[in-house]
Amino acid sequence: MVTALHMGWRHVLFANWPVDSNLLNAHLPSTLTVDTYDGDAWLSVVPFTNVDVRPTWTPEGWGLPLPELNLRTYVTHDGHSGVYFFSLDAQGILSVVGARLFHHLPYYYARCSLTEADGDIRFQSRRLHPGARPVHFAATYGPSSPELDVQSDSLEAFLTERYRYYTEAQDGSLRYAAIDHEPWPLYEADPAIETNTLFEANGFAHPETESVHYYSPGVTTTASPNRRV
C-alpha cells in the first residue's frame, strides 16, 4: 500500500550550478516547464542523510536511516513549482526498490556514508546499481556563515523552498507528491567537492559556471502518496 512518509532530512548540502534552460528541455517530460531565477535554470547536487524514514502511521523511531545523493532541477506545471529528480542514489536496497515501484522515482542502489568529524560532514557515495552508469561523489562540507535571513523572493528560497516533486511513470504519465516541512534553516557553505560524476552519468557536461552552496542542519518532512497529475 502506498502511504504518506515521514522523513528527517539532516546535514544537507545544496550545491547549485546555473545553466541555460535549453540544456534541460531534452531531459524533462514535455509536460514540465523549466523554472528559472533571473533567467538562469539550475542543476543542484544534494547529498544528505534521511533519518527515521517510515510510514506516517508507524511509531517514531521505527524508521530506517538512508543516506542519499540526488541531482535535480526546478520546474513548474500549471503554476505549481517543484523539483524534478534526474537521479537519486541511496544506500538501502529495499528502499530503492520501494521508491522505484511505488513512488516512480529514479533511485539507484549505492554505497553511501555520512560521518561527522570536527564540525564537518564527510559524505561519500559510489553507485553499485546493476546496469546503471557509474557515479562517484565525495565531499566535505558544513556551515561557513551565521544563519541566513532567507527572503521569499531570494535565490536561496528558489533553490530550497520546494513543496512538490514531479516524476514520470513508466507509462509516460506525469506524477507528483506534496512535501510538507518548516522553512529550511540555511547557512552559506564552502564545500570541498573532491569527486562528482553525477552530471556525466545523467548526460550533462559538467557546468563551467560558478556554483553557489548552502548548508542546512535539516528539517522534518512528510511526503504525500505519489499521485497521477
**Tens-digit pLDDT profile for residues 121-166:** 999 999 999 999 999 999 999 999 999 999 999 999 999 999 999 9
CA 76 from chain center: how many Å? Answer: 16
Mean pLDDT, the chain, integer: 93
Count, residues in the chain: 229
Specify the pLDDT at position 118: 86
CB atoms closer than 10 angstroms to residue 28: 17
Q: Which residues on neighbouring strands pair with residue 167, listed in sequence order?
A: 175
Specify the pLDDT at position 182: 96
63 pLDDT tier (thresholds 50, 70, 90): low
Structural domain tally of the chain? 1
Which of 92-101, 187-196, 217-226 is the least confident region? 92-101
CB atoms closer than 10 angstroms to residue 31: 14
| 114 backbone φψ class: left, alpha, beta (φ>0; ψ -120 to 50) | beta
The radius of gyration computed from the CA coordinates of the chain, to the nearest angstrom, equals: 17
Q: Residue 204's closest CA among 47, 63, 44, 57?
A: 44
pTM exceeding 0.85: yes
- We report the CATH number of the domain holding residue 136 as 2.40.400.10
The fraction of the chain above a pLDDT of 90, given in percent, is: 78
The fraction of the chain above a pLDDT of 70, given in percent, is: 96
Residue 129, domain extent: 5-228
